[in-house]
Structure formats: structure tokens, C-alpha cells
Amino acid sequence: MIKEEKNEKEEKAEDIKISDQQTQTDHRIEEILPKELCCPICGARAIQVTTKRGIHYKCQNEDCSWDSNRPFDFSKEKRRKNVMHAASILKKMIPEINVVENFGYSPEIIFTGEKKDSATKYDLSVYFMGMKLQRVRVEINNGLTKKEFFDSNYCYVIGRPEVVEYLAKRNGLVAHLLIDEETEKLGISRMDQIVKICPMKKDHFGNQQYFIEKTYRPALVTFDVDEIKNLLFTNLYKKLYRNLVIK
């Protein structure tokens, strides 16, 4: 009797094959998807995962680990990869600039190389000839093409109050990264204009949510390379001539 009970427990603990494509573990069902349904990020095979929370899709490539489940996909490391992707797009648009990731650092970084895992007020710094031109915050948009971005009812800029205030005072920019768009993946808007024009409400975490209404969206967000360049170089004159004295 004891052996029989042990065998039953072992059988329950093992994965149950429902079919050749489905595997069930406890309350989780994984199903291998057809080859044509692949990861939108890296193109690897994806699986459909069904749990108590619903259905989501997950990449089987460990280096990518894309997951359509929003909380997972917005993990810190995943966000950093997307931020660096936005930086590379900006660099390709305007080769003469340098785009540098902003990160927390300690006073001894020159000697030790030590970085601090701390909150930052923006994601990217844009440099030209050694001068810092702009500070950029990256907003990540999943599952939207450029057309859908302008037609969507869910277009927000979200940030901590101190971050929004900091960027608005310094003519900082917001980069709207469209992960699933094939061609024009990056749009730019000005934080100070968003603060002035867009309605705001606070979420449960105290962050400020600015909704960019459809009517204002084409005027506030640009995907045009020349207009993006003008926004990046807005402060160049002040940087060049702020110490100029005419006698």
C-alpha cells in the first residue's frame, strides 16, 4: 500500500502530456505554437502558456526571454535592453551625435568603476562635440505600429513627479519606442509641452500619468528625422554662446 501511494504521488508530480503539443504541470499548460508564430523580438520559436491568470506567449530563446505578459516584459533588465535599442536608433538617425546611457554612479567610479543600482531621472544623454545637448526618457510601447500608435486610446507618458518636473524645466525629451513597428520605430516629443497640454492623473504608486489625446498627438509626437534633429539641437546655441562677452 505504501509503495502504491508513493507511485501515485510521483505520477502527479510528473508533467502530464495532454497531446504532442501540450504539456501540463500543476495548473500550468504549455503549448508549442506553429513555426510561423514566432517571437516578435528575435524570431525564435514561441510557446503559449495558460495559467490561472490567463493566456500569454513566451519566447523559448533564453537570451531573449520575451513574454507578452506585461509585468514580466517590463522587468528592469528588459527595459534596459529596450533603452539601448532606442539609443542605437537615434544614433543611426543622426550619426554626428553620441548617445550615452544614464546610470547611477558612486564618487569613486573613476577609480573603481563601481555603479550604483539607483533611480535615475532620465535614460539617455545626447552629446555633440563634447556638449550635452539633451536628456531623454524612453517610453516603451508594445504591440503597436506607427499607425496604431496615433489611433490608440492608450498613449501615456508616465513618470515620477520629480522626474517629470526635472525634464520639463530642462527642455527634456521623451522617446516613444514602438517595439513591434518595422520601419519608423522611434518618435520624439517634448516633456514641457506634454505637461502643459495633456491631462494628468496619478496612479496607485504616485506616478504622474499624462494622456496624449488623439487630436494633439500628431502635433506633439514626431517621427520625422529632420524634426527630431531640430529638437535634439534646440539648446546648441545656448551651449555655444552662453559665455560669450561682447566688448
Write the CATH number for 114.
3.40.1350.10
Of 144, 147, 103, whose CA–CA distance to 125 is shortest?
A: 103
pLDDT of residue 60: 77
Specify if 44 maps to a domain.
yes
Specify if 9 maps to a domain.
no
Specify if 7 maps to a domain.
no
Number of separate domains in the chain? 2
Give the 3-state secondary structure of residue 149: helix
- Opening angle at CA 82, ends 81 and 84, nearest 5: 65
Specify if 204 maps to a domain.
yes
54's enclosing H/E stretch is strand 54-59
Q: Of 34, 69, 104, at which residue does a domain stop?
A: 69
132 with 233, same domain?
A: yes
pLDDT of residue 15: 45
Q: Of 52, 69, 86, at which residue does a domain stop?
A: 69
- Residue length of the chain: 247
- Domain span including residue 213: 76-241
In this prediction the pTM is 0.66
Q: How far apart are the first and last CA of the chain?
A: 103
Of 224, 229, 219, whose CA–CA distance to 150 is shortest?
A: 219
Specify if 18 maps to a domain.
no
55 with 102, same domain?
A: no
195 with 96, same domain?
A: yes
80 with 65, same domain?
A: no
**Residue ranges with strand state E in 153-221:** 156-159, 173-178, 186-190, 200-202, 208-211
Average pLDDT by consecutive 10-residue portion of the chain (247 residues)?
50 47 60 71 74 70 66 61 93 94 65 60 91 92 86 82 91 92 93 93 81 92 96 86 69
147 with 94, same domain?
A: yes
58 with 80, same domain?
A: no
pLDDT of residue 58: 78
